[in-house]
Structure 1
Amino acid sequence: MRIKRVLGLGIVAVVTVLAVSACGGASDAGTASQHASEGKLTIGVKFDQPGLSVRGEDGAFFGYDIEVAKYVAGKLGVQPDGITFTEAPSAQREDMIANGDVDFVVGTYSITDERKEKVDFAGPYFAAGQSLLARTDSTDISGVESLTGTKKLCSVKGSTAAQNVKENYAKDVQLQELATYSECVDALRARTVDAVTTDDIILAGFAGQTPGELKLIGNTFTVEDYGIGLKKGDKESRDKINDAIQAMIDDGSWLKAFEKEIGPLGDSTLTPPPIDRY
């Protein structure tokens, strides 16, 4: 792992940030740069990932991914009131980008070779690792190797986490794929599944919502580079977004956003991954 940090820290309360309602319509055939030059962007995000990307009851958005999205939009010349955030479920992200429903996606979007065949990525802007979330009273789950055929594991349909478990670990585990991670966590709390798997930073956010009830289990067993997904072949926009991510790292905003939305690092360190300018 290139990132060294303590994810057992409590998830701090976050400040609701100004954003436009998620009821934005589809984009036209223009590029992200062209739309930004008009002062507007439609950005795909998650609605239910504590610490990363959440839509509040008042319709405002907050979280680390939201801060990244707003910073990038600002560097492209778009103010917060020109941003429309729209939900981008894991299984629909590539289609939403290809169809022009969004200008780009900032939503714990792991960069993979398979996805790069369909969309382009700027970044990465963060590196996470896949882990497990279980109930604190669980005594028979110690890590991915303990997921036997009697265990029920939940992940999100279309996620790299679900595919990774299927292909490389616990092939006989009973894998349940739901639409969102919040649904998986609800199933975990209801005891209809035994564990949830996705990236550690996402799971830490959910654990922080219910102190003492849920816990992260074992060590991370992958490295997941989060990128900003955009339309295939849009090099101009990709280069501009890469420049924006680098600027966010260089001026300290990247670290400040993490500590504000995820939690203080204490004695841990957080090292940004190098940007891939392929």
Structure 2
Amino acid sequence: MFDEDARYVNIGVKVDQPGLASYSKDPTNPEGFEVQLARSVAAQFQQRQARLINITSQTRESFLLENQAQMVIASYSMTDPRREFVDMIGPYLRSNTGIMVRSDYQGSDDVHSFHGADVCTAAGTTSVDLIKSELGQEPRTVPSFKDCNDMLSNREVSAVITDKIILEGFVQADPEFKLLNSEFGSDGYYGIAIPKGHPEECAAISKWLKTYIDSPEWRIHFSTYFPGVNPEDYSVGSALVDAKTRCTAEPLAPSAGEQ
């Protein structure tokens, strides 16, 4: 998975999600919980450094399959369809689905109050199907949540719907938005994705991650990037890592990656 003399691990992150990963302070150096996680994971492999690569929700799998990234840490929910193409280690966070609106919104908190209204989410996310199921309608989909937020700001949509932890970061970064006091769907679990066929590296990441998420360090990092948010609402335990991690010995067959 890594060249012997390589100093870096190429890790895909989404840099438009404050709290998780964004250029909120330094335009050349992203920061956030997932950025911290990426740097910590890279250091487990002979103290390599993380080389962060900008990706979107739609390009997470393709960057791994095309060897443009060696890992992806990008609010990547662990699902069986995704495990057909990549190995996923985790979780390191969990989140239900939330609703973000403009701060002047005075309507109901119930998700069904948005039936018939235009709502936005990012293409390639699990939120797309969830919105179809809950509201019986197609959401507006765009490449990044920044595009959704721009549409919300311009009153082109009534709400942005996605994982609540992502929305927590947006409302902290921009007082123009607020998070409704409701959530729906089932918890999604974020995992670290790597190409199939690297069981030693997969096991090493899993072993480190179990120690990390049960340590005070996880809560310190969470509270650093999500101040005022209750860590217990999004925390996971090491038993879940054992239950949900999948490490495969064989690489993905070329025909599977071409589908």
Q: TM-score, normalised by structure 1?
A: 0.80
Which deviations, in whole Å up to 9, do the C-alpha atoms of 1:28-82 show, x marking residues without a partner? xxx1xx2476332000001110111013543101000011111111122234xx3
Partner residue, 2:203: 239
Identify if the C-alpha distance between structure 1 residues 165 and 62 changes in structure 2 by more than 3 Å, giving closer, same or farther.
same
CA distance in 2, matches of 1:257, 1:267: 10
Partner residue, 1:16: none
Asked whether the 8 Å contact 1:131–1:220 carries over to 2, the reply is yes
Partner residue, 1:187: 151
Which deviations, in whole Å up to 9, do the C-alpha atoms of 1:138-191 show, x marking residues without a partner? 233422222222x0000001111112212x21113x521011011101110110
Identify if the C-alpha distance between structure 1 residues 263 and 61 changes in structure 2 by more than 3 Å, giving closer, same or farther.
same
Partner residue, 2:36: 67
Q: Which runs of 5+ in 2 are unaligned?
A: 247-259
The answer to whether structure 1 residue 163 and structure 2 residue 121 are counterparts is no
Which deviations, in whole Å up to 9, do the C-alpha atoms of 1:189-212 show, x marking residues without a partner? 110000001111110111112226
Query: 1:67 is aligned with what amino acid?
Result: Q
Q: What SS is found at the alignment partner of 2:156?
A: coil
Asked whether the 8 Å contact 1:71–1:244 carries over to 2, the reply is no
Identify if the C-alpha distance between structure 1 residues 36 and 90 changes in structure 2 by more than 3 Å, giving closer, same or farther.
farther
Partner residue, 1:49: 17
Deviation for aligned residue 1:248: 1.5
Partner residue, 2:165: 201
Asked whether the 8 Å contact 1:127–1:272 carries over to 2, the reply is yes
Partner residue, 2:112: 145
Query: 2:124 is aligned with what amino acid?
Result: G
Identical counterparts, % of pairs: 27
Asked whether the 8 Å contact 1:204–1:216 carries over to 2, the reply is no
Q: Which runs of 5+ in 1 are unaligned?
A: 1-30
Asked whether the 8 Å contact 1:132–1:143 carries over to 2, the reply is no
Q: Report how many residues are paired.
A: 241
Larger relative CO (CA 8 A, sep 6+): 1 or 2?
A: 1
Which deviations, in whole Å up to 9, do the C-alpha atoms of 1:222-246 show, x marking residues without a partner? 2110000110232122111111212
1:36-185 equivalences under 5 Å are 38-56=6-24, 57-79=26-48, 82-149=49-116, 151-166=117-132, 168-172=133-137, 175-185=139-149
Q: What SS is found at the alignment partner of 2:180?
A: strand
Between structures 1 and 2, the one with greater helix share: 2
Q: What SS is found at the alignment partner of 1:169?
A: helix
